[in-house]
Amino acid sequence: MKNVIITGASSGFGKLSALTLARKGFKVWATMRNLNVQNKENKEELLAIAKSESLSIEVIDLDVTNQESVDKAIKMVIKTDGKIDTLVNNAGLMYVGIAEAYSLEQVKYQFDVNFYGVLRTVNAVLPHMRKKKNGLIINVTSVAGRLNFPHFSIYGASKHALESYSESLSYEVAPFGVEVKIVEPGPFGGTNLLYSGPKEANTEIFDAYGEHKNTPKTILNNLNNFYKSDDALDPQIVADAIAKLIETPKGKKGMRVVSGLDYGTIDLNERLAKVQTKLVESLEMGHLLEVN
């Protein structure tokens, strides 16, 4: 039975992916932080569903901002299963606000969750995947990792960084039989992500923006209203996209999969992919474009 580790499985895309993959016959390691406090109910709910449907789901503690927590979780999976087939980096946090008014500490934490957290989990699983000469890493970014939305400055920067890291990493590990892929969701309701970020710490700067300080709130309200409309998309689409990517044979997967409203991201990806390929080939590294 192939196994999958999913970070941020307490709700949203992570929870839906855990259930979707388990229902397809995968063994799922659904990870979340603060199992006995913050996510106690989420843990119990997921395990109750797994029990009622006879699904292979293990819920374990993993805080992507804590290296010891990451290492402990990965060691548990290896000790139990002896391998890691797929890692889905889904855990994330979204800051929407006045970039200037966020403290440096707040910005660092945004990156600690969205970017450094991915590096921690990836670096923990790669030695095992390279040894097996097989493995798949899926990093969930966002269309905001390719496009630039007003007042998504800090969040977008973390996702742009993750996009760049993921694609470059895919070349580095291809000779070892490991694939790195990206899933880029558009806006979806029901994920708890929209209001997951804190308010700006520097109230003096925030107030100096006058009437413009309310623009981020307007954006959030407009998105929230869209989520409640008949045009809103089901976040299950993202879970299905992740499942399809995992089920696609090695070497047949695209670098990026866009899920939901793309705002032109699909076209952008197609055009940039040609540029990227030419760049790698110009460096006489074309063999890194194909996974072994």
Q: Do 280 and 55 touch, CB atoms closer than 8 A?
A: no
Q: Do 125 and 168 touch, CB atoms closer than 8 A?
A: no
Residues 133-150 have a mean pLDDT of 97
| Token pair listed for 278 | 């030419």
Residue with tokens 């979340």: 32
What's the CATH code, domain 3-289?
3.40.50.720
Residues paired with residue 140 on neighbouring β-strands, in sequence order: 183
Q: How far apart are CA 26 and CA 243, in angstroms?
A: 10
What's the pLDDT at 230? 62
Residue with tokens 């797929």: 86
Q: Residues with Cβ < 8 Å from 8, sequence gap 6 or more?
A: 14, 31, 32, 64, 90, 91, 92
Short-list 94, 65, 78, CA closest to 29: 78
33-49 burial, b for 16+ CB within 10 Å, e for fewer?
Answer: bebeeebeebbeebeeb
Degrees, nearest 5: CA angle 65-130-70: 15
What are 10-20's pLDDT values in tens digits?
999 999 999 99
| Token pair listed for 184 | 């880029």
Residues 1-10 have a mean pLDDT of 97
Residues 149-175 have a mean pLDDT of 97
Q: Is 155 among the catalytic positions?
A: yes
Residue 3 pLDDT > 90: yes
Q: Residues with Cβ < 8 Å from 285, sequence gap 6 or more?
A: 171
- For the chain, the domains span 3-289
What are 98-110's pLDDT values in tens digits?
999 999 999 999 9
> Measuring CA to CA, how many Å separate 3 from each of 77, 83, 99, 138, 260?
9, 8, 39, 14, 26
Short-list 11, 263, 50, 28, CA closest to 156: 263
Residue 191 pLDDT > 70: no
Coil vs helix vs strand at 182: strand
What's the pLDDT at 190? 63
Name the DSSP letter for residue 58. E
What are 39-90's pLDDT values in tens digits?
999 999 999 999 999 999 999 999 999 999 999 999 999 999 999 999 999 9
What are 206-251's pLDDT values in tens digits?
999 999 999 998 988 888 777 776 667 899 999 999 999 999 999 9
Q: How far apart are CA 167 and CA 176, in angstroms?
A: 15
What's the pLDDT at 171? 98
Count of helices and strands (H, E) across the chain? 10, 7
Q: pTM, whole model, 2 decimals?
A: 0.96
Choose the catalytic residue: 95, 102, 109, 155: 155
